[in-house]
Structure 1
Amino acid sequence: MAMLEAFRDLCSKYSYDVLSGAPMSQGRYSLVHVAYRKKPANEKAVLKCIVKNRRDESTGDIEWNCLHEAKMLEKLDHENIIKLYSYFESEHFVVMELEFEHQGNLREHVHKYHSLSETECNRLIKEVVSAVSYLHAIDIVHRDLKCSNVVLCCCSFVRTKLIDFEFSKDISLDKFRGDAQPHTFCGSPTYAAPQLLDFVTCDLKAADVWAIGVMLFFMLTETFPFGSGDVKSVRKKIRGGPFWPLGKSISDQCKEVVMSALTVDEDNRATIQMFEENSWVSAYNGPNCVAAKEISEAAINSSWHH
């Protein structure tokens, strides 16, 4: 409650009226709330507040990268990536104003329909792949790709947008430094490539592609290919390969796309360019197949949960 009140006071100083009631989402170190921007025209806005000076739970060190997400979003420009309009900070908080067009996330959408058709999966994953291809072309990796970090935007047609760039990384800096340190996963083990789970040096672009494969499997089946347990459980199931649930017809071509992303050997895993150029992924060229009105408004409350 103290965090919320301090957040309201800070926003008021920057001409935002935070709406009464609970935040859209709130975690230990962040919250997302709807507000009205007083200037220039009392428009609705979504504000994400991140706590500064938080301590790393494993080392006890104070983290100083709270501006990272704002700085990253500031230099990105793609129709399938959430836009940053502005940000401001105080001694204790960083606050970002982000696009406010979404009505729920992809995870909620899949749960609502208990799996999606191949046509819809094709269209949605094509947009995600387009955004990730843009990032990889400029040597940026997302590192936390998952269905809850893809929001569905409420416009005349539905468009997907990637959110939550807190763990994103410019790997060109690693190349410059000759960095070859092992990389750890930053999100859920459910979406983490086996190399991340094994804490070995890996290709972070290939790890993003693995996560897209997990996303597509989930969209098609409403289940995860290797479960959703802890690191040890997921790693054990990866060794056995994904199990396709019975009862739903999925084309061999679609399965091949998923498996090209879920190849354990990252040297043989599809790149994002190969994924984007795949005949199944590139096949859909029609209008968006999900009307905005079909997306559950209730899902908005969980769109920004980590």
Structure 2
Amino acid sequence: MANSQAKVVSSILERHGYELGRYLGKGAYAIVWEAYFKKWKTNVAVKVLLKEKAETEFLTKFLPREIQVWKSLKHSNLISFYQSIETTNRVYIMLELAPGGEVMDRIRMRGPCDERLAGKWFEQLCQGMAYIHSRGVVHRDLKLENLLLDENENIKISDFGFCKVSATETGSVRSIQLSETYCGSYAYVPPEVLQGTPYNPFLSDVWSMGVILFTMVTGKLPFDDSNLRRLLKQMLRGPIFTNRHRAISPECKELILKILSHVTSRCSVPDLFSHHWMLSFLTERPAEILSGMDALYLPPSKLRQQRPSIVSWGMGRNKGRESAD
């Protein structure tokens, strides 16, 4: 960022009790900085969104939804949302700082994880996603770049730019909304998303979790996303384990195959907590959260058999409607 722009950012942050720190990185619309929050005497991450670079739909639909949903989520395996500030040219989002960086960067530098570390991280991912799904929320952009590490190398799920409330409760009627919009990265989305058919976003998140686990233990993505037609064929065939993967346990491979399977046979999040590989790493089974969640993971064909996607689900925590995809 140019010095003049940095001065503007620093000035805005100072007014709200923050001291601008080091540059952390940037994305398509945003630049991320570290800052010191004087009131709490702690460092935070500040995501500075540049309005002139962002598309209108992002500013009017996705960003307000991201802020609204993220503010409502509180879990030890999620990056915490602290505050947002909007000015004429920018939006400042203050978030929990994850000093360990991205899991993807860790794998690029050190190669595949041993199963003990992969099990720890995947269990934490499952804990976070169980909580998110229990709130009726889907992430829709799960990938290793969006899994950050705190100072103790614990997983923190980040970036809720494509999140959506997809399970709602109005009175006695509880409903799941299928998604039709493409969201996420090609390498992490399930085949039903690439095929352009209405899909259950809860099951889509589970597929992305399987891609993450495969990559953790092998050091490589399971499918080649350089050609979409070839990518879809590989997805429909399923992941392949070669002689190079001899060190991976049969139990871990079995779980990956159960996740990266056809939508009608794919695992649910409660299924993950019951799998024998996961039980080796389980710190706590969130029984209250998981209770009644199986109905969230019905494939689209079964949802259509119910009166407009109406099913019984979850803990009944979510109220209201979400119509925009």
Q: TM-score, normalised by structure 2?
A: 0.77
**Identity rate, percent:** 25
Alignment match, 1:303 = none
Cα distance in 1 between the residues matched to 2:155 and 2:176: 33
What does 1:242-257 correspond to in 2, within 5 Å? Answer: 242-248=239-245, 249-257=247-255
Task: Indicate if the aligned counterparts of 2:166 and 2:176 stay in contact, CA closer than 8 A.
Answer: no
What does 1:135-284 correspond to in 2, within 5 Å? Answer: 135-155=132-152, 158-173=153-168, 183-248=180-245, 249-264=247-262, 266-284=263-281
Cα distance in 2 between the residues matched to 1:283 and 1:29: 41
Deviation larger for 64-73 or 193-202:
64-73
Cα distance in 1 between the residues matched to 2:27 and 2:34: 16
Q: Structure 1: state its 5+ residue gaps.
A: 287-306
The structure-2 alpha-carbon separation of the partners of 1:109 and 1:263, relative to structure 1 and needing over 3 Å to count, comes to same
The structure-2 alpha-carbon separation of the partners of 1:280 and 1:134, relative to structure 1 and needing over 3 Å to count, comes to same
The structure-2 alpha-carbon separation of the partners of 1:230 and 1:177, relative to structure 1 and needing over 3 Å to count, comes to farther
User: How many angstroms does 1:204 deviate by?
Assistant: 0.4
Alignment match, 2:91 = 94
Cα distance in 2 between the residues matched to 1:194 and 1:218: 18
Give the number of equivalent residue pairs: 277
Q: Any idea what SS the aligned residue of 1:50 has? A: strand
Aligned-residue Cα RMSD (Å) equals 2.5
Higher relative contact order (CA 8 A, sep 6+): 1
User: How many angstroms does 1:268 deviate by?
Assistant: 1.2
Alignment match, 2:16 = 14
Q: Tell me, yes or no, if structure 1 residue 39 matches structure 2 residue 39.
A: yes
User: How many angstroms does 1:97 deviate by?
Assistant: 1.4
Cα distance in 2 between the residues matched to 1:260 and 1:186: 23
Cα distance in 2 between the residues matched to 1:124 and 1:186: 24
Alignment match, 2:292 = none
Alignment match, 2:289 = none
Cα distance in 1 between the residues matched to 2:271 and 2:174: 28
Deviation larger for 79-88 or 213-222:
79-88
Q: Any idea what SS the aligned residue of 1:134 has? A: helix
Task: Indicate if the aligned counterparts of 1:131 and 1:162 stay in contact, CA closer than 8 A.
Answer: yes
Deviation larger for 1-10 or 205-214:
1-10
Alignment match, 2:50 = 51
Cα distance in 2 between the residues matched to 1:62 and 1:81: 22
User: How many angstroms does 1:259 deviate by?
Assistant: 0.8
Q: Any idea what SS the aligned residue of 1:86 has? A: strand
Cα distance in 2 between the residues matched to 1:69 and 1:230: 30
Q: Any idea what SS the aligned residue of 1:36 has? A: strand
Q: Any idea what SS the aligned residue of 1:256 has? A: helix
Q: Structure 2: state its 5+ residue gaps.
A: 284-325
